[in-house]
Structure 1
């Protein structure tokens, strides 16, 4: 089952793309809630390149590496990657009247409900929006 989420960011295509693929930016937005953080982001944005984003609870109680391999990249348009468990994720960037629409489509996993997954991924996407828009002020 695929799950899609989206948001519209009031920014330029270049700013949205760069915030998605730059380690310092990724560390600023890649977590679902304020009690979590992304202290490390390694990314090799090439087809066959790997990424590894460390996600940790700020209190140190838990953490995990979110990692995978890029399978297709169209600069300023889309990124497709495969996670360690072979689920695929597609991120698409569209210019719209009031900014950039970011659509993220991912294959659901079996451990958590579809709604839990949708909510968690959407929280991270909303952090992305907030981070990018704060850079414009």
Structure 2
């Protein structure tokens, strides 16, 4: 099953793209809740390049690596990647209030569709808040 989440970011595409693809930015927004954080991220943004984000509970009780390979990069428009046997696509679409970021991904059998959609949506909402707050300081 495919799941879709999206958000609108009130910022220009170059700022949205950079924040989505730069490790120093990713560690600031890539968490589904306040009790989790991303401790490190790597990005080799090219077709065939690898990425990884280390996500950990802030209390140190658990963590995991979210990692995969980019399969298609169209700068400022689209990122496609594979992670394990699953795939995802990220679209960056001009909208009336900035850039709509839409992520479509393959679900997994361990968690409910609602849990997966909620977690990925929370991360995307954190992303939008981060980019918009960072934009105000520039």
Over the residues paired in the alignment, what is the CA RMSD in angstroms? Answer: 0.5
TM-score, normalising length: structure 2: 0.97
Tell me the SS of whatever aligns to 2:16: helix
TM-score, normalising length: structure 1: 0.98
- Shift in Å, 1:97: 1.5
Moved over 4 A (4+): none
Q: Does 1:60 align with 2:60?
A: yes
Distance between the aligned counterparts of 2:14 and 2:96, measured in 1? 15
> Tell me, which stretches of 5 or more residues in structure 1 are unaligned?
none
Tell me the SS of whatever aligns to 1:136: helix
Q: Deviations over 1:61-104 (max 9, x none)?
A: 000000000000000000000002x2000000011121000000
Distance between the aligned counterparts of 2:51 and 2:31, measured in 1? 16
Tell me the SS of whatever aligns to 2:129: helix
> Tell me, which stretches of 5 or more residues in structure 2 are unaligned?
none
Distance between the aligned counterparts of 2:40 and 2:53, measured in 1? 6
